[in-house]
Amino acid sequence: MNDSLYLAWRYLSHHRAKTLLLVLSLSVFLGLPLVMRAMSAVIQQSLMARAQSTPLLLGKKGSSLDLVVEALYFQPKGIEALTASDADEIDGTGLAQAIPVRTGLLARQFPVVGTSLDYFSFRGLRIAEGRALGTLGECVVGAEVATTLGLEPGDSLLTSPSTLFDLAGVYPLKLRVVGTLEPSYAPDDRTVFVDVKTAWVAEGLGHGHQDLATASGDVVLKRKDGAVTANAKLVQYNEITTENADGFHFHGAPSSYPVSAVIVVPNDIKAGVLLRGRFVGDDARQLLRPAQVVQGLNAQIFRFERVLRIIVWTVGLATALMFVLVMVLSWRLRADELRTMTRLGCSRWKAVQIMGAEVFLMVGTSVALAAFLGLAITHYGETWLQNLVLRGS
Amino acid sequence: MGCLLLLVALGCSKQEPQAPPPETKRAASVYAVNYPLAYFAERLAPEGIEVVFPAPPNVDPAFWKPTPDTIGQYQRAGLILLNGAGYARWTRYATLPKSRIVVTAEGCRDELLQTGEAIAHQHGPGGEHSHQGTAFTTWLDMRLALCQASHIRDALVELTPANADAIHAKLDALQADLTQLDIRVRGAADAWGDQPMLASHPVYQYLADAYGLRIESVHFEPDQALGPKDIEELESLVARHPAKLMLFEAEPLPETKRLLRDQGIATVVFDPAAQPPNDGDFLSVMTGNTSRLACATGAEACP
C-alpha cells in the first residue's frame, strides 16, 4: 500500500497545477457547508450569549433591533437618545441597577462608548494592564483596539470629529489611555470606553476653558453687571488634565443629557417583571428583553441559511460531477501510461490501487483544508462575523 | 446541523432571561469625602466595617484633589459617602460607581443655599451662564447633619441587613447628641437675636440659615496677619453691618484678635470640623464650638 501511495504522491506532485486546482475545488465544495454552519452557529451563539446576559434594555421607541444592535454591539444605527434622567428613574425605583450607554462617537474607526464603572463588573471585563477609569478625559481600550492601534497605558487617542467640514463644530477630545482590557471575545474588545461624562464633553455638551474672571482684555468682549462675554479667542481645552479637570463644566442639568440606552439589571425576576409592566403603556420609551429581539434576528439568519444551503448543495453537486469527469478523462489520457506499467509487471489491481491512492490523497487534503477553514472561522472569526452581520442588518 | 437546531431550539425557548447573580457585597469599607460624614459612619457602622477618610491632614477636603490611586480606593469601597451640595469638587470629574454612591444631603432641603459669588459669562452659541457656587457646609445645621446621618444609616442597613437593628439603635444615640447640640446652638442664636455677626470665611451659610443668624463673610485666614486691604474691607463691611462678634474656623493670630477687639469685635472659634481634630472627635469639636458661641452670646455662663 505504501508503494501505491508513494507513486500516487509522485504523480500528484509532478502534475502540481492540476492537483492544486482539483484540491481547491473540492475544498470549497466541502468547506462551504462547514463554514456556513460554523458561521451560523457562531453568530447565533455569540449574539444570543450577549443578549441573554443583558436582562433588560431601555431605549426610545423605534426599531427594537436597531436599539439592541447599537447598545449591545456598538454598531451605529442612529437610534434616538434617552436622557440621563431616564437612567436615574430606573435607579430611583430601587428595583434595578441602571447602566447608561452612550454611543455615536468614534476614535480611529473604533466606537467610543460612554458608560459607568458598573458596566465593567456587569460584563465581567477585567483590566489587563493599567487601571480602571478614574477621571474625566480617560479611556480604557478593548484588547483588539490596544493590539490594532498599539496602545498601552500612558498613550493618548483622539476622538474623531463628528463632521469633517464643520469648522464651528466640536473639536476632537484627546483621551488618555489608562488601561487595556483582557480579551473578552465580544464587541467590548473593539471598543474604547470612557466615562459617560467624558462622552458628553467629547460631544461638546461640556467644556473647559481659561478662567474668565482672570482672562486678559483681548479675550473679553464686555463685562457688565457681573456678566462676562468672551470672544472666539477664548482658549478651550481639547484635553482634560489633572490641572484643568476642575474647570470642566456642563451647562444645564446633567439629567437632561443624552444617553443612547440604559442597560437595566433587575434585582430579581419579580423586579424585572414589575419594571416591564411599568413601561408597557409608555409612548416614548421601550423596555425590551434583548434575548427576544436577537431570537428574531437568529430566525432571519436561519431562514437565509436554508436558502443558501440549497444553493451550496447545487454548486457542490456540480463540483463533484466535475471532479469525477476530470478524473475519468485523466485516466483515459493516461491509458498509455497504464499500459507501460502493466508491461513493466504491474498488476491491474495495483494500477487501480495507485489511482485510488491519488483520489484518496486529493480528497483527504481537501477535507483537511475544509475542516481547518471551518475551525478557524469558529475560533477566530467570531467578532469579525458579528460585525459583518450587524453592519448589514 | 444538530448543533444549529439545538441553538435555534434554545433560542426559541420561552425562558425568562435571568439577571446575572448579584455581585457579592464587597467586604465592607466605607469611604467618605469629609470628616463629619466619616464620623457619622463610624458611629453607625457595625463591627467589621472600616470607615476611611483618606484626605491628608491640613488640606480642605472641599478642594482636595485625590490621586488616581486614591480614586481607585474610593471605587473599590462598598459605600462612597458624598456630602452633596457641590462639596468635594473632585467628585464632579471622577469616575465613581454610581450604585455605591450615597449623596447624603440629597433630599434634606428643598433648596440648597448659594454662596452668592458668581461671575456670569458668555462664549460661543450656548448663551450666558455662570458658575455660581453652592454653599456646602451643610452639617453645621444640626438637623441637616441628622438627615445626612439618616441617609448613611439607610445605606449601611442595605449593605449589612443583618445589622439593621443595631444600626437603627446607633442612629438613635447619634440623634440624641445632635439634637442636644441643635438645642444649645439655637439657644445661643436666640440670645444673640438679630444682631449682626461676621465670619472669617463664607462657610457658615447653613448655620446662619438654620439658626437665624445674620452673618456676613470676609476671606481672612486665621493663621495670617491682616493686611491693609483686609482692614479696609473689614471697616467698610462693619460700616454697613455693625457686628460685634466674628466667627473664625480656627484660633486667629493674637494681632488679629487685638485688631478686631480695637474695632469692638469679639472673636469666637467655630470649627466646621471638615478634618478630624487632633484631640477628640466631631462631637467634642461641635460641643466646644457651641459652648464658645453660647458664652460669647451670653446664652450660657462662660466656663
Considering the domain architecture, whether residues B39 and B77 belong to the same structural domain is answered as yes
Indicate whether A314 belongs to any domain.
yes
Amino acid at A355: M
Query: Within this chain, do residues A305 and A195 fall inside the same structural domain, yes or no?
Result: no
| Run of H or E including B292 | helix B282-297
Query: Residue A277 burial by CB count (10 A; 0-12/13-18/19+): exposed, middle or buried?
Result: exposed
Same domain for B228 and B165: no
| Residue B153: all three cell numbers together | 444609616
The answer to whether residues A265 and A338 belong to one domain is no
Q: Are residues B97 and B203 in the same domain?
A: no
Strand partners, A115: A101, A195
Residue A34: predicted pLDDT: 74
Q: Are residues B33 and B170 in the same domain?
A: yes
pLDDT of A5 higher than 90: no
Q: Are residues A138 and A282 in the same domain?
A: yes
Average pLDDT over residues A75-104: 93
Average pLDDT over residues B127-143: 77
Among all residues of chain B, which has the CA nearest to that of A309?
B1
B35 and A98 Cβ atoms separated by less than 8 Å: no
How far from B167 is each of A234, A381, B52, CA to CA, in Å? Answer: 53, 54, 18
* Chain B touched by A118 (CB under 8 Å): yes
A181 and A272 in a common domain: yes
* Residues in chain A within 8 Å Cβ distance of B1: 37
The verdict on B36 and B166 lying in the same domain is yes
The answer on A271 and A125 residing in a single domain is yes
Of A160, A194, A198, nearest in space to A179 by CA: A194
pTM above 0.80, yes or no: no
The answer to whether the CB atoms of A229 and B121 lie below 8 A apart is yes
**pLDDT tens digit sequence for B261-298:** 998 999 999 999 999 999 999 999 999 999 999 999 99
Q: Let me know if residue A233 belongs to a domain.
A: no
Q: Does B162 touch chain A (CB under 8 A)?
A: no
Distance to chain A for B15, nearest Cα, Å: 10
- Reported as a pLDDT band with limits 50, 70 and 90, residue B243 is very high
Among A118-127, A370-379, B232-241, the minimum mean pLDDT is found in A370-379
Q: Which three cell numbers stand for residue A148?
A: 490594532
Q: Does a structural domain hold residue B7?
A: no
Whether residue B170 lies inside any domain: the answer is yes
**Are both A171 and A23 inside the same structural domain?**
no
Nearest CA in chain A to B89: A246
In a domain, B117, yes or no: no
Q: Do B153 and B65 share a domain, yes or no? A: yes
Query: Would you say residue A214 has pLDDT above 70?
Result: no
Would you say residue B121 lies in a domain? no
Clarify whether residues B37 and B159 are in a common domain.
Answer: yes
Give the residue from A375, A262, A301, A377 showing the smallest Cα distance to A48. Answer: A301
The rounded distance, in Å, linking the Cα atoms of B33 and B91 is 9
Sign of CA dihedral A354, A358, A360, A361: positive
CA separation for the pair B156, B145 (Å, rounded): 16
Does any domain span residue B151?
Answer: yes
| Same domain as B266, residue B216 | yes
Cell of A30: 466541502
**A39 and A79 co-located in one domain:** no
What DSSP designation does A209 have? B
Is B11 within 8 Å of A266 when comparing Cβ atoms?
Answer: no
User: Are both A42 and A186 inside the same structural domain?
Assistant: no
For the residues A148-158, what does the mean pLDDT come to? 95
Nearest CA-CA partner of B67 in A53, A345, A135: A135
Interval B22-55: pLDDT, tens: 343 455 899 999 999 999 999 999 999 999 999 9
Minimum CA–CA partner of B6 in chain A:
A41
Q: Please check whether residues B272 and B244 belong to one and the same domain.
A: yes
> Which letter, b or e, does each residue of A74-98 get, where b requires 16 or more Cβ atoms within 10 Å of its Cβ?
bbebebebbbbebbebbbeeebbbb
- The reply to whether A242 touches chain B by the CB within 8 Å rule is yes
3-state DSSP helix/strand/coil % of chain A, to nearest 5 = 55, 20, 30
Under an 8 A CB cutoff, do B94 and A37 touch? no
Report if residue A328 sits inside a domain.
Answer: yes
Closest by alpha carbon to A234, among B116, B93, B126, B65?
A: B126
What percentage of residues in chain A have a pLDDT greater than 90?
A: 42
Instruction: For residue B167, give its domain range.
Output: 29-110+134-174
ipTM at complex level:
0.75
Question: Which is higher by pLDDT, A171 or A355?
Answer: A355
Distance of CA A268 to the CA centre of its chain: 30
Query: Out of B7, B120, B130, whose CB is closest to A44?
Result: B7
Q: What is the largest distance, in Å, between two alpha-carbon atoms of chain A? A: 116
Task: Please indicate, yes or no, whether residues B195 and B156 belong to a single structural domain of this protein.
Answer: no
Task: For residue B79, give the CATH number of its domain.
Answer: 3.40.50.1980
Chosen domain end from B121, B148, B174:
B174
Q: DSSP 3-state assignment of B175?
A: helix
A237: in domain: no
Contacts of A131 in chain B (CB under 8 A): 68, 72
A51 falls within a domain: no
- CA–CA distance from A246 to each of A384, B69, B90, B132, B209 (Å)? 41, 18, 7, 14, 29
Going by the DSSP 8-state scheme, the letter that residue A95 receives in this structure is S
Residue A224, C-alpha cell as written in the block? 457688565
Core vs surface per residue A357-378: b (16+ CB within 10 A) or e: bbeebbbebbeebbeebbeebb
In a domain, A230, yes or no: no
Q: Is the domain of A178 the same as that of A316? A: no
The amino acid sitting at A231 is N
Note whether A172 and A305 are same-domain residues: no
Q: Which residues of A107-138 are buried (b: 16+ CB within 10 A; e: fewer)?
A: beebbbbbbbbbbbbbbebebbebbbbbbbbb
Instruction: Say if residues A18 and A354 touch (Cβ distance below 8 Å).
Output: no
In a domain, B75, yes or no: yes
Cα diameter, chain B: 97
Amino acid at A313: W
Size of interface A-B (CB pairs under 8 A): 132
Q: Which of A263, A288, A313 is the last residue of a domain?
A: A288
- At B54-109, the pLDDT tens digits run 999 988 999 899 999 999 999 999 999 999 988 998 998 899 998 899 999 999 98
Answer whether residue A133 shows pLDDT above 90. yes
Return the residue in A135, A214, A302 with the most chain B beta carbons within 10 A, the one to mutate for interface testing.
A135
CB contact at 8 A, A282 and A240: no
- Residue A365 located in a structural domain: yes
Of all residues in chain A, the one with the smallest CA distance to B64 is A246
Whether A262 contacts A57, CB under 8 Å: yes
Between A51, A131, A136, which is nearest B72 by CB? Answer: A131
pLDDT of amino acid A247: 73
Whether residues B193 and B277 share a domain: the answer is: yes
Residue B167's contacts (CB-CB under 8 Å, 6 or more residues apart) are B44, B45, B46, B153, B156, B157, B160
The answer on A31 and A146 residing in a single domain is: no
Asked if residue A30 lies in contact with residue A367, where contact means CB atoms within 8 angstroms, the answer is yes
Q: Are B170 and B36 in the same domain?
A: yes
Judged by average pLDDT, the poorest of A236-245, A248-257, A330-339 is: A236-245
Whether A278 is in a domain gets the answer yes
- The answer to whether residue B125 scores a pLDDT higher than 70 is no
- Contact state of B128 with A229 under an 8 Å Cβ cutoff: yes
Taking a contact as any Cβ pair under 8 Å apart, which residues of chain A between 347 and 386 contact chain B?
Answer: none
Question: pLDDT tens digits for A259-279?
Answer: 999 999 999 999 999 999 999
* Host domain of residue A313: 2-46+297-392
Question: What integer pLDDT is reported at residue A212 of this predicted model?
Answer: 65
Cα-only R_g, chain B: 24
Domain total in chain A: 2
A252, A108: one domain:
yes
Among chain B residues, the shortest Cα distance to A293 is held by B11
What mean pLDDT value characterizes chain B? 86
- Domain count within chain B: 2
Inspect the interface and report whether the beta carbons of A227 and B94 lie closer than 8 Å: no
Mean pLDDT of chain A: 85
8-state DSSP, A168: T
Classify strands A220-224 and B101-103 as parallel, antiparallel or unpaired.
unpaired
At residue A339, does pLDDT exceed 90?
no
Contact A209 B123 (CB under 8 A): yes
Query: Is the pLDDT reported for residue A226 higher than 90?
Result: no
